[in-house]
Structure 1
Amino acid sequence: MFATPAQFTEIQKGQMDAAIALSQTWFDAAERFVELNIAAAKATLEESVERTQALLSVRDVQELLALSGGMTQPTLEKAVSYSRNAYSIANGASTEVSRIVEAQIAENNKQVANLIDFASKNSPAGSEPAVSMLKSAVAAANTAYDTFARATRQAVEMAESNVSAATSVTMKAASAANDSVKTSGKRKAA
């Protein structure tokens, strides 16, 4: 099937290199997630201590309302920031995996084309229709993959846009609710 054992070895080496690159990408993403989660846990612990101390120093209802109203917005902003960072890590890893897979598919397509050419040169007379059919099947598979990959990229872009819009709306609603709580607390104090 292959012209020389060296070609087979080269194909195996390419597959191994791609597998190593994929593994490294996932390990890098996992490491970044661990770092993000450790930082978030540390910040949450520090904020919890600060908030507990602040709550223990409250002397009346107005102070409690003012304090609780001031806690909501920063907490929501930190949650949104964490989500954006986590999404960025996942999206970056996904993009890199897609790049590696697409490069490997392109290389595999090249190897299949070389194999078909090799087979057509060494096939008996009259096998041209079979070789042509095989080339057409490979071309159709490549076109289908390209269409699927393009549709997937468009779906991801649309999802990213929707997430950004939803985040913006959520932040505005939370800010409005926070302002309402502060205003309500001031009216009760008066």
Structure 2
Amino acid sequence: MNAFAAREQFASANQASVEILTTLANNAFTQLERLTELNLNTARAVLEDSVAATKTVLAVKSPQDLVALQGTLAQPMLDKAVIYGRGVYEIATDGQQDIAKLFEVRVAELNQTFTDALDKAAESAPAGSEALFAAFKSAVDAANSVFDSVSKATKQATEIAEATVTAASTAVKGASRKAAASKKSA
């Protein structure tokens, strides 16, 4: 019975590992698909803007018009770069969050399994071994506390990065509006 239970637990652990790896692979492919789509859409938009800019430059009749045109041609590329950077950031953040959720669930399951096994072992242990099992439980609790702290720190770092990306996007948009307003008044 013991050997059968051990084989069953081993098979169950292997099945869980295969499921985790399958989920990770599917998540990676999803993120890769999103990144590929973003790259293709960005390349298409840049090509269209480049063609339009080339036509505009070829239609210029005087050097003054060319100088005035310079700033307006660069702005769409800058806007696209900001949008592209934000898109890549969102894809990476989504992928990281999916992986973090998966590992949080798996760690919780492993902790529960380990705690249950420890409790069963404590029940059949000889008298006087309570301190040893209490030390094991304390070590598990400490490890869980560290994992929770790292998880919280990762979430905070993600929030800080999100705030930075948002601030950068806002700054670029503000600079774009300022440049457009100054050209209109000139």
Secondary structure class of the residue paired with 1:4: helix
Deviation of residue 140 (structure 1)? 0.9
Partner of 2:76: 74
Q: Give the TM-score of the pair, scaled to structure 1.
A: 0.87
Q: Which amino acid aligns with 1:26?
A: A
Deviation of residue 125 (structure 1)? 2.6
Deviations 1:61-100 (A, max 9, x none): 2321333232233222211111111111111111111111
Deviation of residue 178 (structure 1)? 4.5
Secondary structure class of the residue paired with 2:166: helix
Partner of 2:100: 98
**Structure 1 counterpart of 2:51, from 46, 49, 52:** 49
Partner of 2:12: 10
Deviations 1:124-170 (A, max 9, x none): 33221111110110011101111121122122112211221232123
Alignment partners' CA distance in 1, 2:11 and 2:125: 24
Partner of 1:176: 178
Deviation of residue 108 (structure 1)? 0.9
Deviation of residue 181 (structure 1)? 5.0
Partner of 2:157: 155
Alignment partners' CA distance in 1, 2:148 and 2:48: 49
Q: Give the TM-score of the pair, scaled to structure 2.
A: 0.88
Q: Could you say which structure has the greater relative contact order, defined with CA pairs below 8 angstroms and 6 or more residues apart?
A: 1
8 Å CA contact 2:27–2:95 kept in 1: the answer is yes
Unaligned runs of 5+ in 1: none
- Percent identity between the aligned chains? 37
